[in-house]
Structure 1
């Protein structure tokens, strides 16, 4: 990543991380992700969360925002300023057509009660045991889905429809990037090629949640139908399954929940985002980095003084939990066994007892 404070390099435990190249003082701003590559506000919250800055109406003592695009659907704003900035920096004539198409096709599918294509469903009649699910099986399922998706309009759950919106936001970002339409160009570490460098977690994800594979194939079929029918400007990205597959394979373990915290300390998840460069901050149960969302920007600060050569790590989970619970959650949702110094120390103490 482009910084005088740290460099990206391989870690001793696998993968890559960020390491300090000079002394860093506590509270130093280390990195800023100016906007997510892909994001979605849950449909149930979309009148309550600003489409640009993600401000939550409840925090302002309101039930909903009342500013929206004149020619669009599904996007509300907390202020005219956010609306005007969205029009200036993010607006695309594709967005209103895309949002309208999602709602229209979802109603059509529900009315007709169609299911995923027969060939796509057939492959799941003999799903191998979870522990023997292979990448070859997953790859074959995607090929079958591509060969049968063009004429299909599957019925999706509300969560699947939110995932459709998330994937399409990534495709729109890639389209803007490729065509030079994006007003604020990302750094190389927040671009489509950088997204492809993120860890692909689909094998671990599908082994833990076998239902997710057919679900994602239905999502792909739905997106392909939307694009080919109503958003032809994006057709090049649906010529094969690869673009949709790339986003969905990197969603698990690489996205950030869009949370709001109330005064009692309870949190509300309003949607989720993919900040590509932010994924290079690995996890530690005694983190030296904290993240803070400011509007749609994600900022990372040093929590203490950091020496040259130290890895810069944030926390993915609640580090107040026990070592057993922490490791269990990380293995289940981030697909790795934590080997941080704190875990090793606490596991050693447990073994001694």
Structure 2
């Protein structure tokens, strides 16, 4: 991690966290994650949010952006500079890959709407409660012939999840072929994030059927984008991203002086996810364009864990713990919770 004043190590309560290696004054910029590993702008906002800096058109008193890629489509920009930087960051062929990807998604989505009109997506009836059962379901999906499978309808959130997954596949492709991975933001770093797949499926049984439909859809896209095909020979890459989507991504909100308001999409900042939660956090996050930045909110002592808040910490302790358990899959044991529960 270079000369930054913290290290990553195991916590006493499980997993890993970031710990100060020296006294850190309040207001210190601890870490900047310059860009997400994967992201998606909700389809309804694609023309209103810059594909590079995530600027919201309505903040600039505009109804939409009108600058697009010269090759391909599905991405809009607030300026020619953002468009050019986006292409340059992708190292050469990203415009062609993403353009083909978006065109394929839109084409298949339209075909799906026509062929699946009036159909209801089949769901997995039996709840999956074991890893073996989950693995078996995915193995069956891998064995299924892509061309012989009927097109199943996807809802708007599922289509946005398709685009999120494809952005991750494009990033992995570029990292593998162009060696573009930023420090702590590569594929190996992503795999170190908490895997919530089984817990997520246990808590929401309908999710497995949804994820299998998404996987089938993404595999069809690979036929139009050969560069991504190697990552879809098995379900491993898709499963890895979906398993870490829950509990490790950040909502992409409008940057408003009144605070967070409209949620425009979501992003996975790998290194940012190394900050654990505390109900009395000593670190705050701030998005500046596509970068995520982290500042200390008070003086921090050596060996003190550096934590952000995942939820509204103004809520009562029971509500905070319930939300963290339901959506982040852990029971909070921070000092504030223990104190408010009367345990210390």
TM-score, normalised on structure 2?
A: 0.94
1:105 aligns with 2:99: no
Length, aligned pairs only: 338
Counting only pairs closer than 5 Å after superposition, residues 164-183 of structure 1 correspond to structure 2 as 164-180=162-178, 182=180
Shift of 1:347: 1.1
For 2:283, the equivalent position in structure 1 comes to 289
For 2:134, the equivalent position in structure 1 comes to 138
Tell me if structure 2 keeps the 8 A contact 1:149–1:224: no
Counting only pairs closer than 5 Å after superposition, residues 169-248 of structure 1 correspond to structure 2 as 169-180=167-178, 182=180, 185-187=181-183, 189-227=184-222, 229-248=223-242
Helix, strand or coil: the match of 2:293? strand
Counting only pairs closer than 5 Å after superposition, residues 51-200 of structure 1 correspond to structure 2 as 51-90=51-90, 91-113=94-116, 124-125=124-125, 127-128=126-127, 133-151=129-147, 152=149, 153-180=151-178, 182=180, 185-187=181-183, 189-200=184-195
Helix, strand or coil: the match of 2:286? strand
In structure 2, distance between residues paired with 1:265 and 1:232? 42
In structure 2, distance between residues paired with 1:280 and 1:264? 28
In structure 2, distance between residues paired with 1:265 and 1:233? 40
Distance 1:301 1:265, change over 3 A: closer
Tell me if structure 1 keeps the 8 A contact 2:4–2:30: no
Shift of 1:70: 2.7
In structure 1, distance between residues paired with 2:318 and 2:102? 43
Query: What per-residue deviation string (whole Å, max 9, x for no partner) do you get for residues 219-263 of structure 1?
Result: 000000110x20112111111111111111111001000012545
TM-score, normalised on structure 1?
A: 0.91
Shift of 1:135: 1.1
Tell me if structure 1 keeps the 8 A contact 2:253–2:260: no
Tell me if structure 1 keeps the 8 A contact 2:71–2:96: no
Distance 1:338 1:176, change over 3 A: same
Counting only pairs closer than 5 Å after superposition, residues 256-271 of structure 1 correspond to structure 2 as 256-260=250-254, 262=256, 265=259, 267-271=261-265
Tell me if structure 1 keeps the 8 A contact 2:71–2:95: no
Tell me if structure 2 keeps the 8 A contact 1:67–1:79: yes
Query: What per-residue deviation string (whole Å, max 9, x for no partner) do you get for residues 132-176 of structure 1?
Result: x11111111100111115123322111101000000100100000
Tell me if structure 2 keeps the 8 A contact 1:149–1:221: no
In structure 2, distance between residues paired with 1:194 and 1:263? 33
Shift of 1:4: 3.2
In structure 2, distance between residues paired with 1:82 and 1:314? 30
In structure 2, distance between residues paired with 1:261 and 1:294? 9
Question: As a proportion of its length, which structure holds more helix?
Answer: 1
Query: What per-residue deviation string (whole Å, max 9, x for no partner) do you get for residues 168-203 of structure 1?
Result: 100100000000164xx411x210011111111011
